[in-house]
Amino acid sequence: MARIIVVTSGKGGVGKTTTSAAIAMGLAKKGHKTAVIDFDVGLRNLDLILGCERRVVYDFVNVINNEATLNQALIKDKRCNQLYILPASQTRDKDALTKEGVGKVLEELSKTFKYVVCDSPAGIERGANLAMYFADDAFVVTNPEVSSVRDSDRMLGILSSKSKRAELGEEPIKEYLLLSRYDPKRVKLGAMLSVEDVQDILSLHLLGVIPESQSVLSASNAGEPIILDENSDAGQAYSDIVDRYLGEDKPHRFIDEEKKGLFGRLFRS
């Protein structure tokens, strides 16, 4: 049985797809057979972040509608043979997703995969609801600002009341906090919520802090999941997150400002 992970947030633009790609790649690199599904039907992006946009033939909706088999639609990553991508359909909308269809696909994936990562769309509508419905674990991606924190809180409410586990009265979804785009310098200036502030509001287990980083944008544009960039702090943060998720005890990093020389301070805005 696969473990189904949903990467969600409520708010858009906080780094769900970046996180999904990084986490899926990280798990696969550790030798676990992992599938990552793009639930953002109509606004397909995951294939770009993973650099497989030119190899999309069939998609998630095709599989749901029995127009293609799962094996035809899954794209095997060229960098890691344990990672498979199920892209979203760009020409359809979220209504093309059905609970039965999604359930069927996840069940089939569960037979052969160790982890299935569901990249949720923003919002709390159909796409997001179906992405989280079958989940075992939830990675709640939050930016250190009030609207993102409140939307995450709303999403946590939905996770605990509208998921399959909640409906069947099973053990609730395990919820983890991923604080992304964190900038200790701005926290120090009081312009950004601190890790403590966010944890105080959400009271959630912190899986990791991902620092704001220029390398995320260039990695996205290049179609390379950021976790493969071992020199970037964001990439290292995701590696830590995967390790912690798999049970390793790693101290948190990137929470405090790193010491910089005079030039560093002058030239970094």
Residues that bind another protein (CB under 8 A): 150-151, 153-154, 156-158, 160-161, 200-203
Round to whole Å and give the CA distance between 157 and 153: 6
Residue with tokens 């798990």: 27
What are the start-end ranges of the H helices in 113-145? 126-133
61: exposed, middle or buried (C-beta count within 10 Å: 0-12, 13-18, 19+)?
A: buried
Distance in Å, CB of 89 to another protein, minimum: 27
Nearer to another protein, 31 or 172 (CB): 172
Round to whole Å and give the CA distance between 144 and 124: 20
Distance in Å, CB of 7 to another protein, minimum: 18
Nearer to another protein, 75 or 140 (CB): 140
Half-sphere exposure of 119 (CA within 13 A, CB side): 33
Distance in Å, CB of 153 to another protein, minimum: 4
Distance in Å, CB of 152 to another protein, minimum: 9
Nearer to another protein, 10 or 211 (CB): 10
Nearer to another protein, 40 or 151 (CB): 151
- Going by C-alpha positions, the residue among 170, 233, 239 that lies closest to residue 29 is 239
Distance in Å, CB of 167 to another protein, minimum: 16
Nearer to another protein, 81 or 161 (CB): 161
Round to whole Å and give the CA distance between 246 and 242: 6
Distance in Å, CB of 115 to another protein, minimum: 26
Distance in Å, CB of 154 to another protein, minimum: 4
* Summary count for the chain: helices (H), strands (E): 13, 8
Nearer to another protein, 202 or 216 (CB): 202
φ, ψ for residue 179 (rounded to 5)? -95, 110
Round to whole Å and give the CA distance between 65 and 62: 5
Round to whole Å and give the CA distance between 223 and 78: 12
Nearer to another protein, 74 or 156 (CB): 156
Q: What is the CA 65 to chain-centroid distance, rounded?
A: 25
